């Protein structure tokens, strides 16, 4: 395989059909711009002012139960609502195209402990989170086309609270990113009679240079086409279409993978590592979905230290995304980090 060298080049994302400009060595440039706040290190196990801690009152006026494992509730400020009787676009104004949507938004607390992140939970607790995701995908999937499970972690990604939590947005439509991936995987399956992402893993395992964590059931790699500096894709090693199709052994394997990977992230800059993480898989409802491979995306914003983030501005907004370090450089750094937690406050107070 001809390898892209150090010169600027573009890489293609076969899942979305989009390109990324890769200009390695730009990380050497000096930085006197914005620096991120670092999340406080020693959080209490319970915070009386936290709207996600057990027994506390939320902004909407409801009180959380004294939950033991996970808690799911309808978002008090939901982005989607179940009732809608609007008709949609007015054909006389063709360029003002719009459609009504029905849906719901939920919040999922991963643990009653205010001070722990997903990667710091024990394996059975992480499995409980995955099982809650599966139950939610199954329950909401009966009613809605697509159930997007995701987490915004850290203030840099807009998370409102350090209490470990994620979100679940379900809607009666296929959102844009899902629509792109659906189309590309469908086309590939039709043409090659095999799965795009399963074929992709074969190549990644052969080369090894973008692998971050490799387990029996799962692989985490910095994708060849990564946009965000330390972006990772989580892929199953055998066919699985949707989160609801995961077997018990895949669930326990995924818990192990998440724990190892998220710990590496925290160790990268010795800070609780911010990111957006979420799952993609076959949508619900009628129609063949054999072309789908279930997978996870993690998009972390940090670039060169705990406080310097990647900005998607300028050329990225007007042209296409650009990255500084290569996917191979990012993967090597993550791969070589330990999978036990060593984030200590003293490590990053000096930043």
Catalytic residues: 165
1 counts as binding ligand H2U under rule CB under 6 A: no
The least distance separating ligand H2U from the CB of residue 206, rounded to whole angstroms, comes to 37
114 binds, among ligand H2U, Zn ion, none (CB under 5 to 8 A by kind): Zn ion
Residue 56 interacts with ligand H2U (CB under 6 A): yes or no: no
User: By CB under 5 A, is residue 243 in contact with Zn ion?
Assistant: no
Site for ligand H2U in 106-135 (CB under 6 A): 107
Q: How many residues contact Zn ion, by CB under 5 A?
A: 6
The contact pattern for Zn ion, residues 83-122, with x = CB under 5 A and - = no contact, is -------------------------------x--------
Upper half-sphere CA count for residue 60 (Cβ side, 13 Å) = 11
Pick from 161, 207, 289, 305 the residue near ligand H2U by CB under 6 A. 161
- Of 16, 23, 167, 289, the residue at the interface with ligand H2U (CB under 6 A) is 167
Report in angstroms how near the CB of residue 9 gets to Zn ion at its nearest: 45
Size of the site for ligand H2U (CB under 6 A): 13
If contact means CB under 5 to 8 A according to the sort of partner, which of ligand H2U, Zn ion, none does residue 53 touch?
Answer: Zn ion
Binding mask 74-103 for ligand H2U (x = CB under 6 A): -xxx--------------------------
Interaction partner, residue 152 (Zn ion, ligand H2U, none; CB < 5-8 Å by kind): ligand H2U
């Amino acid at each position: 395989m001809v390898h892209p060298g150090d010169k600027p080049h573009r890489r293609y994302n076969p899942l979305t059909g989009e390109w990324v400009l890769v200009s390695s060595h730009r990380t050497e440039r000096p930085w006197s711009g914005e620096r991120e706040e670092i999340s406080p290190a020693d959080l209490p196990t319970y915070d009386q002012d936290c709207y996600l801690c057990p027994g506390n009152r939320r902004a909407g006026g409801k009180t959380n139960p004294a939950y033991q494992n996970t808690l799911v509730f309808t978002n008090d400020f939901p982005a989607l609502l179940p009732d809608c009787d609007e008709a949609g676009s007015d054909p006389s104004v063709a360029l003002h195209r719009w459609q009504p949507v029905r849906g719901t938004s939920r919040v999922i607390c991963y643990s009653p402990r205010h001070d722990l992140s997903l990667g710091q939970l024990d394996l059975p607790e992480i499995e409980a989170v995955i099982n809650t995701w599966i139950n939610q995908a199954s329950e909401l999937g009966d009613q809605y086309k697509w159930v997007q499970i995701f987490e915004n972690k850290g203030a840099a990604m807009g998370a409102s609270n350090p209490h470990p939590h994620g979100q679940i947005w379900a809607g009666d439509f296929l959102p844009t990113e899902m629509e792109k991936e659906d189309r590309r995987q469908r086309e590939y399956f039709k043409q090659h009679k095999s799965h795009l992402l399963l074929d992709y893993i074969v190549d990644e395992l052969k080369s090894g240079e973008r692998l971050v964590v490799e387990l029996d059931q799962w692989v985490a790699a910095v994708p060849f086409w990564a946009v965000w500096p330390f972006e990772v894709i989580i892929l199953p090693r055998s066919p699985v279409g949707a989160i609801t199709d995961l077997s018990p052994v895949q669930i326990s394997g995924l818990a192990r993978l998440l724990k190892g990977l998220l710990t590496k992230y925290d160790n990268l800059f010795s800070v609780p590592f911010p990111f957006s993480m979420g799952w993609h898989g076959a949508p619900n409802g009628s129609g063949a979905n054999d072309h789908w491979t279930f997978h996870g995306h993690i998009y972390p914003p940090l670039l060169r230290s705990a406080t310097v983030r990647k900005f998607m501005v300028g050329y990225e907004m007007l042209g296409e995304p650009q990255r500084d370090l290569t996917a191979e450089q990012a993967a090597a750094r993550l791969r070589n980090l330990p999978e036990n937690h060593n984030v200590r406050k003293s490590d990053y107070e000096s930043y």
